[in-house]
Amino acid sequence: MATQRYSVTPHPIETLLTWVKSGEIAIPEIQRPFVWDATKVRNLLDSLYQGYPVGYLIAWRNPSVRLKDGSTSSGKRILIDGQQRVTALMAALLGQEVLTKDYETVRIRIAFHPVEERFEVSNPAIQKDASWIPDLATVFAPDASLTKLTREYAARNPDADQDQISLVLEKVRKIINNQVGIIELAEDLDIETVTEIFIRVNSAGASLSQADFAMSKIAANDTYGGNMLRKAIDYFCHLSIAPEFLPRIEKGDKAFAASEFLPKMRWLKDVNDDLYDPSYTDMLRVAFTSEFRRGKLQDLVALLSGRNFETKQYEETVAEEAFARLKTGVLNFINKTHFDRLTMILRSAGFVTAGLIRSQNAINFAYILYLRGRAEGMPAADIERLVRRWYVMSLLRGRYSGSPETAFDFDIRQIETRGLATYTDSVIDAELPESFWTTLLPQEMDTSSASSPYFLVYQAAQVKLGDLGFLSRDITVRDLLLNRSDVHHVYPRNHLKGQGLTRGRYNQIANFVLAQSEINIGIGDRDPKVYFAELADQCNGGTRKYGGITTADEMRANLAMSCLPESLLDGDIPSFDDFLEQRRKLMSQKIKTYFEGL
């Protein structure tokens, strides 16, 4: 028979709130935004008042840790499911302020109507209406007297039945005697099991990631500055998207503003670059993998808990060292020089807009490589070349698209063993042999996804090689991408639709070129036979219909830049399938030329 990995115990809400106040239960997300709206808080109180169940809470006890003096300290419980419910109760019943998703501190006031026995979100009209108690927290205040509350209410509402009001207020007060079931998970469970239990119990079906567990461990720690580190990670990610948020941190979180972290991220206030907007998962991956030379975030969770991988024991010194190293990793991540260099390297590889960035994990590993190169004292130019080549290789081969953690872990351990340059060079050689460019890549480009990594890398190649837009005399692909380009179908969409082709056929990436919108509009739905004949005429002194190119040599050079067969200008218009096949080969060769120049 399987052993039970948890216990279920009912506890009165009052006990639960006492535990949270005393720190016996840690709500790791309490520093993170409270995302419920006030009406959900009202509904929760109404359910409790009616005696309805409000679901289980899930707590996971931290392992007991051996302290430096040889004694052991039993771990506190971390609440991993039910944070919003408990925060709602703290807010409504104890009057505690909560942090909104805009990182503003607010009071959620729930009003109560004793005659109608009705809860409502407090508002100015209710506050002026004598028949309401505008803030329920006054009923639950430690020094609140039911007799006094009843007397004051009756004085404001002479028609009210004083005995009835007293009974109703007493019933409200008894909400905190309601039992809530706490599922306590054994401390020795691994993350996979905890995640599985969480998903099965959580009716919303939301899943917890390894990063969520890591963030919970960090936030629940107040011995080694975990709580402040947690905020540093959160605030940096928020500021990178909304720089205007800085004054709110300075005003609203004085402790953080006085810490060593805020000055190191203040540079974000002047940044409006969205090439790399990291989430806390991205930041943890990079900080952890670059600093600990491991790729699996469950290892970080174990280390932050104090797990000694050699002795299989939990020790305080291990946790202390893990927090110190993670802090170093986070400070390296948020360092302006490092962050700017990374985005500069991506730009120098032709990835000039956020629209060309699809794989966050490929960037994360590029950043890890950059930080490792710096730590090893590698010359800047060598780091840049290595990071550019690895990033493009990982996009072309989908290296981090399946299970990124496993790939991160494998790569970082190999780098540790074999050395950064040796390992990365050997992988690139193995992943991109000559047959990749001549056979595999053209086959892989048989796709109609405009966000396909091959089409994104192709556009970056055009940027890096300084190509002009399709039929443009002066406007480059870089200009088009940075302003507004049209993806033009060489064999126009409606022309192909008219021949009965489906979307997956006419939207092949090998049918796409980047063009100015006026050129795209000018060509419209014309048959390629028609508009290429007009282009040939334009180069022989005829009417200028599309763009400003008027010589055959210039036109041929332009077609070559867009990987189009020059024979199109001679009236040699292949069938659509033959055209796609020819163009995929030409596009593959362009990407190869580009890659060799990185």
Q: pLDDT (tens digit, 9 = 90+) per residue, 515-533?
A: 999 999 999 999 999 999 9
- The answer on pLDDT for 114 being more than 90 is yes
- pLDDT surpassing 50 at residue 487: yes
Average pLDDT over residues 468-494: 92
Q: d(Cα 277, Cα 360) in Å, to the nearest integer?
A: 9
Percent of the chain with pLDDT over 90: 67
- Of 62-76, 386-400, 482-496, 497-511, the poorest mean pLDDT is in 62-76
Q: What is the pLDDT of residue 205?
A: 53
What is the helix (H) or strand (E) element at residue 72, kind and residue range?
strand 72-73
Contact 567, 479 (CB under 8 A): no
- Residue 221: pLDDT band by 50, 70, 90 thresholds? confident
Q: What is the mean pLDDT of the chain?
A: 90
In the chain, the percentage of residues whose pLDDT exceeds 70 is: 97
Checking if the pLDDT of 203 tops 60, the result is: no
- SS3 state of residue 556: helix
**Token pair in block for residue 33:** 């935004």
pLDDT surpassing 80 at residue 197: no
Q: Give phi and psi for 521, each to the nearest 5.
A: -65, -40
Which residue did the predictor score with more confidence, 457 or 144?
457
Structure tokens at 26: 């840690």
Residue 28 has pLDDT above 70, yes or no: no
Q: Which residue has the higher pLDDT, 376 or 189?
A: 376
**The pLDDT value given to residue 5:** 76
pLDDT tens digits, one per residue of 305-342: 898 999 988 899 999 999 999 999 999 999 999 999 99
Q: What is the pLDDT of residues 65-100, one digit of tens each?
A: 777 777 777 777 888 788 888 888 988 998 888 877
Taking only the tens place, the pLDDT of each residue in 238-271 is 999 989 989 988 988 889 999 999 999 999 998 8
What pLDDT does residue 206 have? Answer: 59
The model's pTM: 0.86
Residue 310: burial class (beta carbons within 10 Å; 0-12, 13-18, 19+): exposed
Say how far apart CA 346 and CA 332 lie, in whole Å. 18
Q: Which of 75-89, 121-135, 290-304, 554-568 is predicted with the least confidence, judged by mean pLDDT?
A: 75-89
pLDDT given for residue 419 in this prediction = 95
For the cut 90, the answer to whether the pLDDT of residue 561 exceeds it is yes
* Separation of alpha carbons 560 and 557, rounded Å: 5
Q: CA distances (Å), 59 to each of 6, 81, 194, 354, in order? A: 10, 7, 10, 40
Residue 1 has pLDDT above 50, yes or no: no
Answer yes or no: is pLDDT of 166 > 90: yes
204 has a pLDDT exceeding 70: no
pLDDT at 559 over 70: yes
pLDDT at 25: 82
Is residue 574 exposed (0-12), middle (13-18) or buried (19+ Cβ within 10 Å)?
A: middle
Give the pairing type, strands 57-61 and 179-185: parallel
pLDDT (mean) for 134-163: 92
Read off the pLDDT band of 196 (50, 70, 90): confident
Whole-number pLDDT of residue 435: 97
In the structure, what pLDDT confidence band is assigned to residue 30 with cuts at 50, 70 and 90?
very low
- Over residues 427-432, the mean pLDDT reads 98
Q: Which residues contact 69 (CB under 8 A, 6 or more apart)?
A: none
Residues in contact with 175: Cβ distance below 8 Å, sequence separation at least 6, in sequence order: 13, 45, 48, 49, 93
Do β-strands 77-81 and 25-26 pair in parallel, antiparallel, or remain unpaired? parallel
Average pLDDT of 560-572? 94
Tell me how far apart the alpha carbons of residues 188 and 382 are, in angstroms, rounded to a whole number. Answer: 45
Query: What is the pLDDT at residue 31?
Result: 45
pLDDT at 455: 97
